Amino acid sequence: MYQEALEIESRTRKLPFASQKVLQIRYKEHILKKEYIADLIYFDKIVVELKALDRLSGKEESQLLNYLKATEMKVRVLINFGSHPKLEWKRLVY
């Protein structure tokens, strides 16, 4: 539901984005069979990962940092809609 709402809002604001885009994971010079599916990608370079958790932990940040290292995308934004009463987010750069 959050992803769909963000897609609607992004179209309304004419932001360039792709939804559920498959990113290749690299290890050294090799492309792995395992793929990472990004929730949203904006401007072909910012990956947005959506969560609905009570609160973010180091586990989610570590996972995103690993994906940053393994893909060509260098900026990720982690957005958590499950933390009440306000939205929780983090920007990660590799």
- pLDDT of 62 higher than 80: no
pLDDT band at 77 (very low <50, low <70, confident <90, very high): confident
Helices (H), the chain: 2-12, 58-70
What's this model's pTM, rounded to 2 decimal places?
A: 0.79
Tokens standing for 41? Answer: 């990608």
Sheet holding 75-80, edge to edge: 17-27, 30-42, 46-51, 75-80, 88-93
Q: What is the pLDDT of residue 17?
A: 95
Quote the DSSP letter at residue 86.
S
Question: Which CATH number belongs to the domain containing residue 89 in this structure?
Answer: 3.90.320.10
Query: How many Cα neighbours within 13 Å face the side chain of 47?
Result: 23
**If you count them, how many residues does the chain have?**
94
Mean pLDDT across the stretch 4-14?
Answer: 93
Of 9-13, 24-28, 59-63, 68-72, give the range with the top mean pLDDT: 9-13
**For the chain, how many structural domains are there in total?**
1
Residue 13, φ and ψ in degrees, nearest 5: -90, 5
- Residue 70 confidence class, pLDDT cut points 50, 70, 90: low
Is the model's pLDDT at 15 over the cut of 80?
yes
Reference 67, options 38, 28, 90, 42; nearest CA is: 38
DSSP secondary-structure letter at 18? E
Range of the structural domain that residue 65 is part of: 2-93
